Chain A
Amino acid sequence: DSGVTQTPKHLITATGQRVTLRCSPRSGDLSVYWYQQSLDQGLQFLIQYYNGEERAKGNILERFSAQQFPDLHSELNLSSLELGDSALYFCASSPGASGGVTDTQYFGPGTRLTVL
């Protein structure tokens, strides 16, 4: 158990809908990362937050947004869903005290999103 929790574990929805994925980092970790894992794209970095502020952005679609709240939990919002958004979405956390470049990232179990 990494100490990172993600809810829900599975999510099935229809095209055009909007969903919210939730992540609680390990106690004391200030950085939260979101990754998408799909068969065709592999594991891709989406976005990083550090202590409530956006720190780095990857290939995140405009239909996707994220935020980190004062209690450090994070949410990833996916809207206008398409079939191609079906994937496993991972949240990871790290202490982030040094910024993160050498940090170990601890991954949650993921949320499996299926768009029908």
Chain B
Amino acid sequence: AQSVTQLGSHVSVSEGALVLLRCNYSSSVPPYLFWYVQYPNQGLQLLLKYTSAATLVKGINGFEAEFKKSETSFHLTKPSAHMSDAAEYFCAVSAGSGNTGKLIFGQGTTLQVKP
């Protein structure tokens, strides 16, 4: 069975500092991995996804993630945090077979950005 684990339920950074949100996955087949962001009182929005092409994936709002098979990781980074990045971030793995898109989500990481 596939699963994801997000290390750290809360991460606090200063504005302008590096953002690093950690995600480790478990999968018996090559995984498809996603990062979503949820702003307060809103739905989830895709930041980026890994679908077995390039291992370094660039997303929206300056975020990127690197797929590392040897470490079973897909950590999300952003070089310089902005106040508007404060939100909850979810890592997810596509747990379906070829014809289903069922997503298994991690528990989420709340990012706080301090001025």
Q: Could you list which residues of chain A lie within 8 angstroms of chain B, going by C-beta atoms?
A: 2, 4, 31, 33, 35, 42-45, 48, 50, 55-56, 58, 90, 92, 94, 96, 98-110
Contacts and interface: CB of A to CB of B under 8 A. Distances in A.
Nearest to B43: A107
B70 interface: no
A90 B44 contact: yes
Contact of A2 (B41, B45, B51): B45
A43 B105 contact: yes
A4 B45 CA distance: 12
Could you tell me the dominant secondary structure of chain B's interface residues?
loop
Size class of the contact patch on chain B: 20 to 34
B42 interface: yes
11 contacts: A33-B103, A42-B105, A43-B105, A55-B99, A98-B98, A99-B98, A100-B101, A101-B32, A105-B101, A109-B41, A109-B42
Contacts, number: 78
Interface stretch (B10-18, B61-69, B71-79, B89-97): B89-97
Interface string B34-69: 101000011111100101000000000000000000
Nearest to B36: A107
Contacts of B97: 101
A35 B41 CA distance: 16
A104 B105 contact: no
Interface of B: 32, 34, 36, 41-46, 49, 51, 90, 94-108
B44 A56 contact: no
A55 B41 CA distance: 29
Contacts of A55: 99-100
Contact of B44 (A96, A102, A107): A107
A107 B99 CA distance: 19
Contact of B49 (A100, A104, A106): A104
B49 A99 contact: no
B27 to A, nearest CB: 12
A90 B43 contact: yes
